[in-house]
Amino acid sequence: MIDVMAIVGPTASGKTALSLELAKRHNGEVINGDSMQVYRGLSIGTAKIEAHEMDGVVHHLLDIKDPEEPFSVAEYQQLVRENISEIKSRGKFPIIVGGSGLYVQAVLFDYRFSEQQADEELRGKLAEELKQRGPLAMHQKLLALDPEADIHPNNTRRVLRAIEINMGGQAKEERTKALSPMYNELIVGLDIPRPVLYERINDRVDAMLQKGLLDEVKGLYDRGIREAQSVQAIGYKEILAYFDGKLALDEAVSKIKQNSRKYAKRQFTYFKNKLPIFWIDALAADEKKLAEIEAMMQENERGRRIELIARQITE
């Protein structure tokens, strides 16, 4: 049997609605696969599912961190693997849902992380490396650690901080590159034409503003949360710049839409280059999408049985 399923795809591609239907059909529970939805108080800007929208489906790893706290790939890996074991022990089916490709990959495959270095030692090494190699090289180092990072190369302070968060006992460059599966997994990706996706993104940003994104970010701003990892997320950093007087509101909104579109493009690139995904049409009717996934699940099970029989014969 399939141990775990992942539903991935770019922002605004329809992952949440599909995951709910799958969970109801397969006695499943959803595990958050978005690196920013772990934060309390970051709900509108991360498009976090609301309690009344869950339709009775249990969700895990939402609102587990305060906005001031760091969160790493390594911590996510540990928490999700614990969730998977616990969910399966109750006879339920775990479904990871989100757009953070590196996080999903680290859970489902044999990614390993080295032990923690002292923060001050690491910070000093990174500062020295910046002097020797320059901002562009350090930005490339960050993207190697986290392809989804969205920080300008010239913002060296934030680039170094992001590298530190990912390397400081969390996600170091010694991560194994082999895609050795940890589970009998099925990864389903939602493919969608770029023009349609970009229109959805623009509409979603407008909807977020109507729901109260400004008030949500203002609450974080008034708490003095400026440099934390959480508020570097798209939708938060731009509004913070507006509150700081660095951007007009219309400029901030335009940047949110632009950065969201760029992020979606990077998500597609990562998914298609890094993960063994079964792609389905995000615009297809719900029943068609579900039927395709059911067929994939059956084929996956058939393939595993053939593999097991072949191994038994050779033994």
pLDDT digits (tens, 9 = 90+) for 293-309: 999 888 876 665 545 44
Check the annotation: does 85 bind a ligand: no
Give Cβ neighbours of residue 155 (< 8 Å, ≥ 6 apart): none
Does 172 have pLDDT greater than 50? no
| 252 pLDDT higher than 80 | yes
Classify domain 4-112+176-314 at the CATH topology level: Rossmann fold (3.40.50)
Summarize pLDDT for 11-28 with one digit per residue, the tens: 999 999 999 999 999 999
Please tell me the predicted confidence (pLDDT) of residue 147.
73
For residue 244, how many C-alpha atoms fall within 13 Å in the half-sphere facing its CB? 14
- Tell whether 15 is in a known binding site: yes
Domain segments of the chain as ranges: 4-112+176-314, 119-167
Does residue 289 have a known ligand-binding role? Answer: no
pLDDT for position 218: 97
9 annotated to bind ligand:
yes
Residue 227: predicted pLDDT: 85
**12 annotated among ligand-binding-site residues:** yes
* Tens digits of residue pLDDT in 50-105: 999 999 999 999 999 999 998 988 899 999 999 999 999 999 999 999 999 999 99
Reply yes or no on whether the pLDDT at 122 is more than 90.
no
pLDDT-based confidence at residue 152 (cuts at 50, 70, 90): confident
